Structure 1
Amino acid sequence: MLVVIGVVAALGWHLTRPGAADEGTRPPVSALGAGTRMGPVELRTADLDALRGFYTEGVGLSVVSQDDREVILGVDGSRLLRLVAAEAPADDPGQAGLYHSAFLFADEAALAEALLRTARVAPTAFQGASDHRVSQAFYFADPEGNGVELYVDRPREQWRWQDGLVVMGSAAIDPNAFVAEHRGRAATGPDAGAVTMGHVHLRGGDLAQAESFYADTLGFAVTARSDGALFLAADGYHHHLAVNTWSSAGAGTRPDSLGLGSVAVHVAGSGELDALERRLTGAGLAYERGDGSVVVHDPWGTRVTVSVAG
């Protein structure tokens, strides 16, 4: 018997819908090259046990390592989420921070199981669902209110690009129908059962500042724009990163709080870090170059670590 997930809620945003795409239109070229992907998101939490339970028993992550102050979660040893115990005020949605961490499932069957588990573990956590044309996405809030997206991509050959931007939308999905259709189907392919940090969606104070930092300097390409939001990616993906100002327009440097601690980006090789270092120097931004990594802070003080994938 299916657990009723809930009534689909409005997502609070809508992407501009372009007209028919030209057949030859291709994704924009990014300074960050092939193999770029998102690394683990760090969350600061007042209740380590509650968040660990939500992400393991619901989302389906496994404990990679843990101690009294920190839990690393992932899939098959790959690190996707870092939970750090902290004493700080609650996250303020009016400030810059995390809108959601988005966990990408390799197939609909695995996603359906995760939706059912999460609904059982946290019956009131469901916030909405949307067909974005490039993906099918389901939205939750974890026990401390951090946004969580569980999604599956449509095949890349079905994505449409127009004038260098990906065509996306926001049509409603019946979550119960999705679970009923896909639950229990055998997953196929070499990545069956895999889960990755598909993208990270942030709250920011200004979209022009976001584009200057994340596109012009960090090296992502702009792949979509909407009213109050910017979407960016590398290597022809629909988006690895997004920034919106829906609740945080005009926000300045983030105060100390629970919620987002840091964001990580993995790149293919040290040459990517050398090029990033040159862009950061040209932009006059402070950064730290370590062994296989570059650490910089975005315009609102969020720590961004770019490192060579292990």
Structure 2
Amino acid sequence: MNGIAHVALTVRDLPAMTRFYRDAIGLRPLSGDGTVQDLGAGGHVLLRLIADPAARPADRRDAGLFHTAFLLPDRADLGAWLRHAAETGVRLTGASDHGVSEALYLDDPEGNGIEIYRDRPAADWTRDGARILMTTERLDMADLAAAADAPWRGAPDGSVVGHVHLQVGDLDQAHGVLTGDLDLTRTFEAPGGAWYGWDGYHHNLAANVWNSRGAGLRPEGRTGLRYVALQQQFRRDSEIVDPWGNRFTAADVQAG
């Protein structure tokens, strides 16, 4: 099945970023050698942190990562994480009911966007052919927190990277890569953004120009997105790079 295997980030402070994703997000440290740290859930790598202390902080106007979205198995898990965030002082940057999902947003210590979410049953999504209606409405935080049926004990088995949202310089160019090279289907669009999925999912990848319209190739030596590892075999190459330097690699290929 097509989807996201893991996301790799270039980070300046590997120990601090590892602690954040362990303590705040609930990912479990897996293998690591002091320069690379893998974290995940259920024994599966979902995030790879690659240390580069000399990297310059990413500029939010550049192309690159908008957010990595971690999908939890059910609503009770998301409610438990919300309670955990409130109890430990994790600062949210947003919360939305998207119709197909309920989502909570925050940033990591180096400014990388994160979404923690749960999906509603696919049978309840509003579809029109390949199009899937997504909305942005107020999320009932109290009702979500009340759905928790146990304390948060870290990301449960079955947690995955549900989607990755990218910043690009031009939506038409991004469309060509996402539908051509990566065989995605556009499922939804809104001013400044477009959403793409495999196998009828509401979206595995998305792209927007809200901060980055007109951006060129992302400068080298910056923190942020290193690559997105995909659970699929590419038709021609083991790696695809879009016009802004966003890299997509097959999950079984080790990317640096």
TM-score (norm 2): 0.91
Q: Which of structure 1's runs of 4+ aligned residues deviate more than 6 A? A: none
Number of the residue aligned with 1:81: 47
Asked whether the 8 Å contact 1:107–1:193 carries over to 2, the reply is: no
Q: Secondary structure at the match of 2:149?
A: coil
Q: Which moved more, 1:241-250 or 1:39-48?
A: 39-48
* Matching residue of 2:180: 216
What does 1:85-164 align with in structure 2 at a 5 Å threshold?
85-86=51-52, 87-123=54-90, 125-164=91-130
- For structure 1, list consecutive stretches of 5 or more residues without a partner in the other structure: 1-34, 187-191, 278-288
* SS across alignment from 2:231: strand
Q: Residue 253 of structure 1 corresponds to which residue in structure 2?
A: 217
Change (3 A) 1:55 1:304: same
Alignment-mate amino acid for residue 219 of structure 1: D
CA contact (8 A) 1:57 1:117 kept: no
1:113 shift after superposition: 2.0
Partner Cα separation in structure 1 for residue 44 and residue 157 of structure 2: 13
- Mean Cα deviation higher: 161-170 or 195-204: 161-170
Does 2:8 match 1:42?
yes
TM-score scaled to structure 1, two decimals? 0.76
**What is the CA-CA distance between 1:121 and the residue it aligns to?**
4.2
Structure number with greater Rg is 1
Q: Give 1:193 deviation, angstroms.
A: 4.4
1:118: Cα distance to partner? 3.4
Deviation at 1:175, TM superposition (A): 2.5
Equivalent residue for 2:243, pick from 291, 299, 304: 299
Once the two structures are superposed, the pairs formed by residues 51-62 of structure 1 within 5 Å of their partners are 51-62=17-28
What is the distance in 1 between the residues matched to 2:20 and 2:6?
17
Shift of 1:116: 2.7
1:122-146 superposed Cα distances (whole Å, 9 cap, x missing partner):
53x3111111110000001111111
Q: Which amino acid aligns with 1:264?
A: A
Query: What SS is found at the alignment partner of 1:58?
Result: helix
Shift of residue 120, structure 1, vs aligned partner: 4.1
* CA deviation profile, 1:2-36 (whole Å, cap 9, x unmatched): xxxxxxxxxxxxxxxxxxxxxxxxxxxxxxxxx10
Hey, what's the Cα distance between the residues in 1 that align with 2:148 and 2:224?
32
Identical-pair percentage: 38
Q: CA RMSD in A?
A: 1.9
- 1:259 and 1:120 map into 2 onto residues whose CA distance is 28
Q: Give 5+ residue unaligned stretches, structure 2.
A: none
